[in-house]
Structure 1
Amino acid sequence: MKRPNSTYHQLVQRIPADVAAKVRGLTLAIPVGDTIATILVTPTRKDIRTSLRTRDPQEAKARQAVAVAYLEGVWESARKGPKRLSHKETLALAGEIYQAWADAFEDDPGPTERWVRAEAANIRANLGQYDGASLMILSPNERRARSVEERVGGFADVALAKRGLVIDAGSRARLNDEVLKALRQATVLHLRRAEGDYSPDPQANRFPTFPVTPNDTKAVSLLSLFDGWAKERKPSESTVAQWRKHIQTFIAFMGKDDAGQVTKADVVRWKDALVDAGGAPKTINDSKLAALKAAYEWGVSNVRVAMNPATGVSVAHKKRAGEQMQGFTDAEAEAILSAAAKETKPHLRWIPLLCAASGARVGEIAQLRGQDVVVTDGIPTIRITADAGSVKTLGSERTIPIHSAVIKDGFLEFTRGNQGPLFFDPTKRKAGAKKPQHKIVAKYVATWVGELGLTGVGRENRKDPSHAWRHRFKTLARAAGISDSVADAIVGHAPDSVSKAYGTVTLATMRDAIERIPLSLNR
């Protein structure tokens, strides 16, 4: 959500009815990015609201997942009852706070006066004289406990929030005492450093590590995150198969399948390794890193992991002169279409001609079915639809008039009476095959074009045997005076601005435009 009069995203979660009474008076320490949001659960509070302190939607989603996981832990702890910390756990948490303080000022501890004042505040807290606690009408023990809470309670909240712990009152009091001791130890350390003494702290190793529980060691499989994403998003089989291989490659690079242990530095190392291996920036960004980001985004949204370490990682790349893909020349188009006219195999006979006449992707034409060739408003058309196989984007679904030259060549007669796929036999699909048949057909067509002996054709010449028809169509459309909005509607390109998205391009307008596209110099 977003609050009124604020551009920051906000977390709002209703307090479960079964724990509402149990959490009254509890102070929550909700992790939000690198900070802690402290919220007192008052008797009248019905929900938890806190700013996520970011305007970025992806960062907000990541922070929300962490905060929600913490709150779910609080509600579950309330159902079970607050946890009692063992002596070892108490010291381990205090040690984590000590280490954070030791690291925070290591490079620049500042003047000695800072740490003299800090130690004076620590002593006042220990004597029950910190801030307002000394003015309260309490017993000496109560005054001291309140004083220590005021001094170190915020640090204890951070340590508890990090582990999603809700502890009982006795554990809280013991933890505060140990945190105060750790704070005094860190203060002495920084006082020595401020005076130029960087010798190791002889007491630094007194703290134990927090005891590991079976739940802490349970790994979250990155493959399970990817499979969860694929199950919900339902991309094409080929995308699932290809992207799953990328996830497996990353797991092999890491040496283990544990999504929660991956850091942004790990993702950057993988990206750098892919670049060093000669990977194309577009493939790395749009396929390999995209697969990793998709898996983690699903994991964050479904509270499986706390953050997406792939966010913001990409290969910096700027297209240089000589890298832009191009369309077929007149001579190349003539040679391909002339060769296609002599073919008897349907996919070689018709797919190049239909691509030349519409600027459609080879895969879009390869998946056409007989029922996708229809007469609409008196105009013979082909329908590009996800029902036939797959489309790249929502805007790729469209209905395109058929060029009169394609009709004259007998395409409608070829499709008549055929209600299944036009260019492959689905009954011949091999059991267990993952790549869609229309993509296999598209590859056959590209291979066939490559074998025609055209020296200027091929990805090495910036002319993809399949995609160059789209570039050529847009070039011919501009030469014929066809507006970009009409050409975009025909080839399935999304409008590049909001204003261009208004209105529709009629079939009659598209038909008139398509008829101005020459299919062959000799026609």
Structure 2
Amino acid sequence: MPLLMPRPLKRPGSTFHQLVQRIPADVADKARGLTLAIPIGETVAQIPITPTRKDIRTSLRTRDPQEAKARQAVAVAYLESVWEAIRKGPKRLTHKETLALAGEVYRAWADTFEDDPGPPERWVRVEAANIHANAGRYGQASLKILSPQERRAQSVEERVGGFTDAMLAKRGLVIDAESRRRLNDQILSALRQATVVNLRRAGGDYSPDQGAKRFPSFPEVTGETKAVSLLALFDGWARERKPSQSTVDQWRKHVQAFIAFLGKDDAGQVMKADVVRWKDALVEAGGSPKTINDAKLAAVKAAYAWGVKNVRVASNPVIGVSVAHRKRAGEQMQGFTDAEAEAILTAAVKETRPHLHWIPLLCAATGARVGEIAQLRGQDVIEQDGIPALRITAEAGSVKTLGSERVVPIHSAVIAAGFLEFARGKRGPLFFDPAKRRTGAKKPQHKIVAKYVAEWVQELGLEKVGRSHRKDPSHAWRHRFKTLARQAHINDSVADAIVGHAPDSVAKAYGTVTLATMKDAVERIPLS
């Protein structure tokens, strides 16, 4: 019976999260003497099970809570597969399985250095170490009094044992001693073959390695095990997480694009190298780092995370894969200047269309996202504690994060302009008519309205407004609000509460910002 998923813990004196899982009582005796190779992010943690060990403890090697949960899910799935394998008894690898695992090491070693193998001298040194291992003269084995056979076996273990552990960890295998010895030998042979290939490439010879064809694929498991559809994993995530329909539609397309790139829909057969190849192809095609990381890779990563958590797949191959990108000078988004804000608000006053008349003013007065204002309903204009306010809630459409749901006071200038009279007595959306939604339309109406507002701002002819000038019409109000808040000496925690930014530390999350405090702050924001 699988154990309940433990929570990542913090070890005293360390800021890293830690995995702690008890060794099941029914496998404790049989597990003694094993060394586990637990996948932790990009690395493998070697954990020996000694006679006195009662549980498995290892650092998850990250301070980020979400990353810790993802890494823990992968590690727990591996441990569960190990416990189950122990219950069934150590597996004896067939000759074909042994060569297939060795082939995976060959491909990883050859592919990693294909583009930049470095100088030939590097591979001469690597092959020298391989030769020493094959002759029993590598590492500590050469210093011990052993028979020639024992010395060679230990020497090979020291040389390639890490590769062996990684291959076994990937498939959750527990094998017998004889299988491990044979696997070590084949991996050393594969490593030597890959070393020769890299040596040739370092010398300028990229002709195909005909010997690579000797490695078979790892045999498919027959019986109850079936292919796991990546699309099915994504749909499971979407049903449970319930993001906006537009997110589901867009992310599903990204998952389908990944499947088309692979040429198959079997989540269990995807390796990290496959994800890296897709990422590289997206970069080569000119995709922006933000879109690749936060949308395309994020969609596939979410599907796998759900699959790991719900025991559909053993690991998430997307973890650790991203486009390296550092914001450079001139890339940070900015807020509207005083002149730009005045021009936009002056144009809005002259507009008779409600969404163009009110949304810019409300964004300027609250620092809210354009979409948050565009989805407001009549029932979201409220009075609380005697203060007129806006209720920004997912009930109206969607919000970016849990912290985005909030109640914010309405600026006196907005009230003086007649907004309360405009909203009074209305039920349902203020800025669009749901009855006019096109049949089959997928994009939420409030996002269409937000797009119209952004296009309207662009059409005003302001010289330096637009994404190319780092002033996205949908977000520049938020940047401006925070700038004006600092100028007015408004506490950052108060400004964050108004615009819906999450606290950046646990300490700042304590306590609440009252509506009266926010009202006082909002009134200090100039709108003219």
- TM superposition score normalised by structure 2: 0.71
Pairwise CA distance, 1:266:
1.4
Is the CA contact (8 Å cut-off) linking 1:374 and 1:380 kept in structure 2? yes
Counterpart AA for 1:318: R
Counterpart AA for 1:421: P
Q: Percent identity?
A: 57
Q: Which residue of 2 aligns with 1:39?
A: 48
Of residues 385, 391, 404, the one that matches 2:412 is 404
Pairwise CA distance, 1:391:
1.9
Q: Which residue of 1 aligns with 2:6?
A: none
Judging changes above 3 Å, is the alpha-carbon distance between structure 1 residues 46 and 314 closer, same or farther for their aligned structure 2 residues?
same
Pairwise CA distance, 1:349:
3.7
Q: Which residue of 1 aligns with 2:219?
A: 212
SS in 2 for 1:329: helix
Pairwise CA distance, 1:355:
2.5
Counterpart AA for 2:243: P
1:317 partnered with 2:324 = no
Q: Which residue of 1 aligns with 2:135?
A: 119
Q: Which residue of 1 aligns with 2:173?
A: 165
Of residues 240, 244, 266, the one that matches 2:277 is 266
Question: Once structures 1 and 2 are overlaid, which stretch shifts more, 414-423 or 283-292?
Answer: 283-292
Provide, for residues 72-92 of structure 1, a one-character-per-residue CA deviation record: whole Å limited to 9, x for no partner. Answer: 333333444544444544566
Is the CA contact (8 Å cut-off) linking 2:276 and 2:321 kept in structure 1? no
Q: Which residue of 2 aligns with 1:242?
A: 250
Counterpart AA for 1:39: P
Provide, for residues 349-402 of structure 1, a one-character-per-residue CA deviation record: whole Å limited to 9, x for no partner. Answer: 432332233332221122112222222222211111222222223332222222
Judging changes above 3 Å, is the alpha-carbon distance between structure 1 residues 438 and 177 closer, same or farther for their aligned structure 2 residues?
closer
How many angstroms apart in 2 are the aligned matches of 1:498 and 1:222? Answer: 36
Judging changes above 3 Å, is the alpha-carbon distance between structure 1 residues 444 and 73 closer, same or farther for their aligned structure 2 residues?
same
Superposition CA RMSD, Å: 5.0
Judging changes above 3 Å, is the alpha-carbon distance between structure 1 residues 209 and 106 closer, same or farther for their aligned structure 2 residues?
farther
Matches within 5 A, 1:271-286: 271-274=282-285, 276=286, 279-286=287-294
Of residues 108, 117, 124, the one that matches 1:108 is 124
Is the CA contact (8 Å cut-off) linking 1:285 and 1:314 kept in structure 2? no
Counterpart AA for 2:522: I
Pairwise CA distance, 1:269:
0.9
How many angstroms apart in 2 are the aligned matches of 1:189 and 1:507? Answer: 66
Question: Once structures 1 and 2 are overlaid, which stretch shifts more, 264-273 or 314-323?
Answer: 314-323
Is the CA contact (8 Å cut-off) linking 2:381 and 2:423 kept in structure 1? yes
Matches within 5 A, 1:28-67: 28-32=35-39, 35=44, 37=46, 39-40=48-49, 42=51, 47=55, 49-52=56-59, 54-55=61-62, 64-67=72-75
Judging changes above 3 Å, is the alpha-carbon distance between structure 1 residues 506 and 107 closer, same or farther for their aligned structure 2 residues?
same
Pairwise CA distance, 1:107:
1.0
Is the CA contact (8 Å cut-off) linking 2:133 and 2:152 kept in structure 1? no
Pairwise CA distance, 1:280:
4.7
Provide, for residues 14-62 of structure 1, a one-character-per-residue CA deviation record: whole Å limited to 9, x for no partner. Answer: 44456567x35563543446556353475x7654x14257346577666
SS in 2 for 1:353: helix
Is the CA contact (8 Å cut-off) linking 2:60 and 2:71 kept in structure 1? no
Question: Once structures 1 and 2 are overlaid, which stretch shifts more, 284-293 or 380-389?
Answer: 284-293
Matches within 5 A, 1:226-375: 226-259=234-267, 260-263=270-273, 265-274=276-285, 276=286, 279-299=287-307, 301-302=309-310, 304=313, 305-308=315-318, 310-320=320-330, 324-327=334-337, 329=340, 331-340=342-351, 343=352, 345-375=353-383
Is the CA contact (8 Å cut-off) linking 1:379 and 1:401 kept in structure 2? yes
SS in 2 for 1:387: helix
How many angstroms apart in 1 are the aligned matches of 2:250 and 2:107? Answer: 44
Is the CA contact (8 Å cut-off) linking 2:19 and 2:58 kept in structure 1? yes
Pairwise CA distance, 1:332:
0.7
How many angstroms apart in 1 are the aligned matches of 2:478 and 2:60? Answer: 45
How many angstroms apart in 2 are the aligned matches of 1:65 and 1:361? Answer: 34
Is the CA contact (8 Å cut-off) linking 1:400 and 1:507 kept in structure 2? yes
Counterpart AA for 1:176: R
Q: Which residue of 1 aligns with 2:118?
A: none
SS in 2 for 1:12: strand
Counterpart AA for 2:271: Q
How many angstroms apart in 1 are the aligned matches of 2:455 and 2:516? Answer: 35
1:442 partnered with 2:450 = yes
Q: Which residue of 2 aligns with 1:139?
A: none
How many angstroms apart in 2 are the aligned matches of 1:78 and 1:441? Answer: 59
Pairwise CA distance, 1:511:
2.8
Pairwise CA distance, 1:234:
2.6
Judging changes above 3 Å, is the alpha-carbon distance between structure 1 residues 481 and 308 closer, same or farther for their aligned structure 2 residues?
closer
Q: Which residue of 2 aligns with 1:27?
A: 34
Judging changes above 3 Å, is the alpha-carbon distance between structure 1 residues 147 and 27 closer, same or farther for their aligned structure 2 residues?
farther
Matches within 5 A, 1:133-172: 158=165, 160-167=168-175, 172=177
Unaligned stretches of 5+ residues in structure 1 = 135-143, 191-197, 199-203
| Alignment length (residue pairs) | 489
Counterpart AA for 1:108: V
Is the CA contact (8 Å cut-off) linking 1:98 and 1:183 kept in structure 2? no
Judging changes above 3 Å, is the alpha-carbon distance between structure 1 residues 218 and 453 closer, same or farther for their aligned structure 2 residues?
same
How many angstroms apart in 2 are the aligned matches of 1:173 and 1:330? Answer: 75
Counterpart AA for 1:212: P
